[in-house]
Amino acid sequence: MIARVLFVILIALFSGRAAAQVECTGKIIELDELCWSCIFPIGVFNIPIFTEGQEDWDTGAEALCSCTYGPYTIPGINISFWEPIRLVETVRHPGCFPMLDGQQMDLGRHAPPHGQLKRNSDYGQTTGHSFYQVHWYTNPVLYIIQSLVHFPCLDTATGLDLAYMTEYDPLWDDSEDTFILNPDAALFTSVLASVACAVDCVWATFDFALPFLFWCAGCQGRMYPLVGWVAGHIGGIQASSLIVQRFTNKLHRQGLMRAAWGVPGQCGQYPMPIMDKRAYKKQMVWPFRTTNKFDGKCCNPYGRTTQIWQAGKTVVGREDYGWQVFQRKDCCYPARF
């Protein structure tokens, strides 16, 4: 009898281990899986030289500029582009790292719950709520491969590195405590504020999101609170896109992400506590890579609807996603450097 009980326990343990291995899948993202068209348009003197049919917006940067290096002021010209700077994954289970070849790691602590997706039906529509963890990697691809030699404005992180994981962030699963980061959320709880987000959705779908509606995340929902809970979960890609926006904004609030566009960004990065949604776009790299262009594009600005391209890109039961994030940059390229 005892032997039989021990046998059942061993079977349960191995079954649990196998289930955990099945839960977390992924791969190392290679350079040919990135959509290189996303770095365009590239502008010189604020004139688009290479566009590849990609979108851009006017940051107000000066065509002729100058920067001070120590005692010297050196004139230059403005060069604009979209730099692939970060790799981000949103996962439903703590310690799962799809971008690290699907490794499941023991965190050595009790991580916040993954929050099983719960669905309810209101007014004939099926919605739900969910919770995602986020892993944020430095991934300065252009700097790593030195595609632009001696270019002073590239992200200078040393390489692919895990820079942030929400399993160790006590604010990420607590809507009340995170009020410390976003106290302005209390100002945008009205019906009128929600209606404004519908306008932001339309604008983001046909152009870029509206920066003055900073409490909105375009078609993905509400930007606040800056936590991993998604109250209006419609689909995995929609929810993951919302989480990526919130987390980027959270890092701006914490001073861990900085702006690099417009006149202030021509000579270096500067703090921006309220993220400008227009300055970021993203490409899905897991579980499917979106290198096949839809309407000539394989990247989408923050806030744009996912309905027009997400069909067939969800694996049922494995709603973990990986994204390459691109940041808009202006650079005062010095006449002598």
pLDDT digits (tens, 9 = 90+) for 245-272: 999 999 999 999 999 999 999 998 999 9
Measured in degrees and rounded to the nearest 5, phi and psi for residue 69 equal -120, 100
Query: Is residue 20, in this structure, part of any structural domain at all?
Result: no
Which residues, in sequence order, are CB contacts of 330 under 8 Å at separation 6+?
59, 61, 78, 79, 80, 260, 261, 262, 263, 265, 266
Q: Is residue 5 part of a domain?
A: no
Please check whether residue 25 lies inside any domain of the structure: no
Instruction: Report the mean per-residue pLDDT for the chain.
Output: 83
Residue 138 resides in a domain: yes
Q: How many domains does the chain have?
A: 1
Lowest-confidence segment of 54-63, 69-78, 105-114, 308-317 by average pLDDT: 105-114
Per residue in 177-216, pLDDT tens?
888 888 988 888 888 888 899 999 999 999 999 999 999 9
Q: Considering the domain boundaries, does residue 218 fall inside one?
A: yes
Q: Does residue 87 lie within any of the structural domains?
A: yes
Report yes or no: 325 and 88 within 8 Å, Cβ to Cβ.
Answer: yes
**pLDDT over threshold 70, residue 168:** yes
Q: Which domain holds residue 125?
A: 33-334
Residue 6 or 38, more confident: 38
Could you tell me which residues come within 8 angstroms of residue 316 by beta carbon, excluding any fewer than 6 positions away? none
Angle at Cα 32 formed by Cα 314 and Cα 246, nearest 5°? 50
| Domain membership flag for residue 187 | yes
Report, as an integer, the average pLDDT of 286-312.
Answer: 86
Q: How confident is the model at residue 65 (pLDDT cuts 50, 70, 90)?
A: very high
Please give the pLDDT value at position 12. 37
> Is 208 contained in some domain?
yes
